[in-house]
Amino acid sequence: MNKKNTNDIMRDIAGIERMERGKLSVIRESATGAFYNLQYREAGKNKTVYVARDQVNQVTENTQNYHKAVELFEQYVDLVSERSRTERLAGLKKNKIHPKSSKPSSKKSKN
């Protein structure tokens, strides 16, 4: 499997047009069917909203898209972190190749 690069990942994220945080749950079953709610956090607080039956498929897709976006962003962070770390360590190695002299510098006297 080919590893995606950061441009591929950002393009995939940008291609997700709809998403919602949260978890869709059945809150109750009745003779006419299930009743649903969406639970999510907003501004540090738990929120719960009712979801009409005719919106369940869309909310399911939206929450799946959110989780896909989070996964893609984690991949992006991993790649950028790896690249940043590699560049930083390469810079440390360059500095070790040409260390500064430990000899004290001699001052030239003015005559």
Q: What is the pLDDT of residues 18-31, one digit of tens each?
A: 999 999 999 999 99
The label of the residue with tokens 């005559």 reads: 111
Residue 14 domain-assigned?
yes
Residue 23 domain-assigned?
yes
Radius of gyration of the chain (CA): 27
Residue 54 domain-assigned?
yes
Contact 78, 5 (CB under 8 A): no
- Structure pTM? 0.74
Residue 76 domain-assigned?
yes
Domain that holds residue 47: 6-81
Reported confidence tier of residue 6, pLDDT bands at 50, 70, 90: very high
Reported confidence tier of residue 33, pLDDT bands at 50, 70, 90: very high
Question: Which two tokens mark 22?
Answer: 């949260």
Residue 47 domain-assigned?
yes
Residue 17 domain-assigned?
yes
Number of domains observed in the structure of the chain: 1
CA distances from 90 to 15, 62, 63, 103 (A): 34, 42, 41, 26
Residue 98 domain-assigned?
no
Give the mean model confidence (pLDDT) for residues 70-80.
Answer: 96
Residue 40 domain-assigned?
yes
Of 69, 70, 33, which Cα lies nearest the Cα of 51?
Answer: 33
